[in-house]
A and B are shown apart, each in its own frame.
Chain A
Amino acid sequence: MLYGYLPAVLEGLVTTLKVSALSLAIACVFGLVGAAARLSESRIARLLAGVYTTLIRGLPELVLMLMIFYGGQMGVNALSDRLGGGYVDIDPFVAGTATLGFIFGAYLTETFRGAILAIPKGQIEAGHAFGLTRLQVARRIVAPQMVRHAIPGFANNWLVMVKATALVSVIGLDDMMHRAGLASASTRQPFTFYAAIACIYLAVTTVSLLALHVLEKRFSLGVRRVDF
């Protein structure tokens, strides 16, 4: 199938999925810290988080990626020069994952912030009134409900991110997109290969949507809905 390039393309899929999953984990960390900072009482934290989300969301992903990849390359080498090290080549996998995580962290910051704000304030106050510490309130009251409110936005960001991994091929990541490019070049059948990976992307997004639907049901147990 696919002129014998199917295994190579599927290997690329593994890279795509790895980058997506790792970026998501990084984005969640940035998102949680960002949301905490945006809702914190410290003005500096609020300002920093605000600058982070505004700046990232105001720029195209591709530009951010090129900026962080080439800029980071230069920064790391300048640093290595000073420390007397040799030339460091940044791995596109590391750069791509870190960059995507950093970018989508900004989007998740807003998702998480909205999810936290959607929790009725009285519940948090009640928690404090019962003598729970801030950490206990966060863990027992905020976190479980926040997940439910965050799922739609989270799902959306995940889908956008899976698709954005295709951009990482531009900075040289050997992902599915890159593999399709190589296979097209040697077989002269670009449409076949790009159509094939389009189907694979579609399969990934479909499975993600189904999984997130199940997740949403699970976390919405016991929530009353309006019946129209």
Chain B
Amino acid sequence: MDAPPVDWSVIFGALPNFWRGLQITLMLLAISMSSGLLLSIPLGVLRVSPRRWVSGSVWFYTYVIRGTPLLVQLFMIYFGLAQFEAVRESVAWPLLKSAWFCAWLAFTLNTTAYTTEIVAGALRATPPGELEAARSLGMGTAAIYRRILLPGALRRALPQYGNEVVMMMHATALASTVSIVELTRVARDVYSDHLLPAEAFGTVAVFYFVLTFTLVGIFKLLEQRYLAHLRPKQPERKAG
């Protein structure tokens, strides 16, 4: 079976739209990841708290978010909140009815849950000696977190966090279901205009693929920089 020829004119015609979609995708990713990271670090610290009710409540939050589909969370916020008159009449309504705000909120809540667990896991993996040494030097809890625990834990969290960023980048595709014209929406529109699935989804696949590998590359570089001390010593090789 010979494949139908690729209609390049459709692809080239839609490239400006794809380009704008790419910017929207990146914007969604950037705002969600930055707010998510900002929230996850304190929540990660609370998650490893020895006080059961503190760590328990953070656990409950991550458990609920991680146990339900992001699409359901997004729909709950975007379509769901309008059900309540109190919400429709509140001052926050102009925000809450905008797709952008809802997508940002859903993505932030989602990535915060996953990142909190990553941070907590990395904190738990702290070698006990580091903590003992810091305490024996008379450092206070805040100083220990700021100088010892968090710098080490955030480094250890880097590989997993890289995965999380790629996952979230893929998750921004869901914003296409709430009328945000990011990459996937552009592809779906191109498809419904021309009924050419290979052109529409093939092109967007290239965009996502390049994005994925750029992110993976960035995190490789970061790991080289920040996890250099964990690399096994390379035997010195002589050229020739």
Contacts and interface: CB of A to CB of B under 8 A. Distances in A.
B136 interface: no
Interface string A166-197: 11011000000100110010001111101101
B84 interface: yes
B9 interface: no
Given A62-B176, A167-B71, A192-B83, A79 B184 contact: no
B174 interface: yes
Interface stretch (B37-45, B49-57, B152-160, B196-204): B196-204
Contacts, number: 114
A191 B213 CA distance: 37
B119 interface: no
22 contacts: A55-B209, A60-B171, A62-B174, A63-B187, A63-B204, A63-B208, A66-B184, A66-B197, A67-B197, A67-B205, A71-B197, A73-B197, A164-B69, A169-B71, A177-B69, A191-B80, A191-B83, A194-B76, A194-B79, A198-B73, A198-B76, A205-B66
Contacts of A55: 209
A50 to B, nearest CB: 14
Interface in A54-85: 55, 57-63, 66-67, 70-71, 73-74, 78-79, 82
Interface of B: 1, 4, 64, 66-73, 75-76, 79-84, 169-174, 176-177, 184, 187-188, 191, 197-198, 201-202, 204-205, 208-209, 212-213
Contacts of A169: 71
Contacts of B171: 60
A190 B205 contact: no
Nearest to B198: A71
Majority-rule SS of A interface residues: helix
8 smallest CB-CB distances across A and B, nearest first, come from A191-B80, A60-B170, A67-B201, A166-B69, A70-B197, A60-B173, A163-B69, A205-B67
Contacts of A48: none
Contacts of A184: 79-80
Nearest to B25: A60
Contact of B184 (A58, A60, A159, A163): A60
Main secondary structure of the interface of B (DSSP, over half): helix
A188 B188 CA distance: 27
Interface in A140-170: 159, 163-167, 169-170
Given A74-B198, A181-B75, A201-B68, 16 more contacts: A60-B173, A60-B184, A63-B173, A63-B184, A66-B191, A66-B201, A71-B197, A166-B69, A167-B174, A180-B72, A191-B80, A194-B72, A194-B76, A198-B64, A198-B72, A198-B73
Contacts of B212: 57-59
A101 to B, nearest CB: 18
B71 A70 contact: no
A25 interface: no
Contacts of A220: none
Contacts of B191: 66, 70
Given A59-B212, A60-B171, A62-B173, A195 B197 contact: no
A60 B207 CA distance: 11
A166 B177 CA distance: 12
A206 interface: yes
